């Protein structure tokens, strides 16, 4: 079974500082990896995804993530936090093979401090 | 606009009542999913349907049933609602390739 670990349910970051959200995955087959963002009382919006092409993936709103197979990681970064980045972020794993279920981590609630 | 449509958006039930959450997609996707979201738990898979005519249990299926009515529609039924089923429910679909599309969610409160 595939799974994702996100540590630190709440993450505080100062405006203008680096945003780093960690995601480690477990998968017995080559994974597809995703980061989603959820703003208060809204649905899920795809930030970026890795599907076995380039290991450095660029997404929307200035976010990017790097797939590191040796570390089974897919950490999300943004060089400079904006107030509008305050939201909950979810890492998720799936695969091309099997039933394609999407397994989510528990999420990181990001708070941006002015 | 193409996408996944969930109804209703909000619902309050009394313990023991039943209800069906509706989900429809217009992207001709084969696979459909039902998730529940609870604080600090992320999204957990309740049931999924890999194709029309098939359904399978996910991570937290107890207390729920599903029906894949046709390729477009995948409904989730609570036969006897319990307070533990208070949650936000999301439907999603996936076609060929790697993209998942989520609905806007149903916020359910069981009192």
Chain segment B52-68, per-residue pLDDT in tens? 989 999 999 999 999 99
Distance CA B37, CA B44 (A): 6
Distance CA B65, CA A86 (A): 35
Say if residues B40 and A106 touch (Cβ distance below 8 Å): yes
Question: By a Cβ cutoff of 8 Å, what residues of chain A touch chain B?
Answer: 6, 9, 32, 34, 42-44, 46, 49, 51, 90, 92, 94, 96, 99-107
Q: Do B92 and A34 touch (CB under 8 A)?
A: no
Mean pLDDT computed over A8-13? 92
Residue of A nearest to B99 (CA): A49
Residue among A48, A38, A4 at smallest CA distance from A22: A4
Say if residues B13 and B81 touch (Cβ distance below 8 Å): yes
Q: Do B41 and A106 touch (CB under 8 A)?
A: yes
Q: What is the mean pLDDT of chain A?
A: 92
pLDDT in tens, B1-45: 669 999 999 999 999 999 999 999 999 999 999 999 998 899 999
Closest CA–CA distance from residue A23 to any residue of chain B (Å): 13
């Amino acid at each position: 079974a595939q799974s994702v670990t996100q540590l630190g349910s709440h993450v505080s970051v100062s405006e203008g500082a680096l945003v780093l959200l960690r995601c480690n995955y477990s998968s017995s087959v080559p994974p597809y990896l995703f980061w989603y963002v959820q703003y208060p009382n809204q649905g899920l919006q795809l930030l970026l995804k890795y599907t076995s092409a380039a290991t450095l993936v660029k997404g929307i709103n200035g976010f990017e993530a790097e797939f590191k197979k040796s570390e089974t990681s897919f950490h999300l970064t943004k060089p400079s936090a904006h107030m509008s980045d305050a939201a909950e972020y979810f890492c998720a794993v799936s695969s091309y093979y099997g039933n394609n279920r999407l397994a989510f981590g528990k999420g990181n609630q990001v708070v941006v401090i002015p | 606009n193409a996408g996944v449509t969930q109804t209703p958006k909000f619902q309050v039930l009394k313990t023991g009542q039943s209800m069906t959450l509706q989900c429809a997609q217009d992207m001709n996707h084969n696979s459909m999913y039902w998730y529940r979201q609870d604080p600090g738990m992320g999204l957990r898979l309740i049931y999924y349907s890999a194709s029309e005519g098939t359904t399978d249990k996910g991570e937290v299926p107890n207390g729920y049933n599903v029906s894949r009515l046709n390729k477009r529609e995948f409904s989730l039924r609570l036969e006897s609602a319990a307070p533990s089923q208070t949650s936000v429910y999301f439907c999603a679909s996936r076609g060929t390739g790697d993209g998942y599309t989520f609905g806007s969610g149903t916020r359910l409160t069981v009192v």
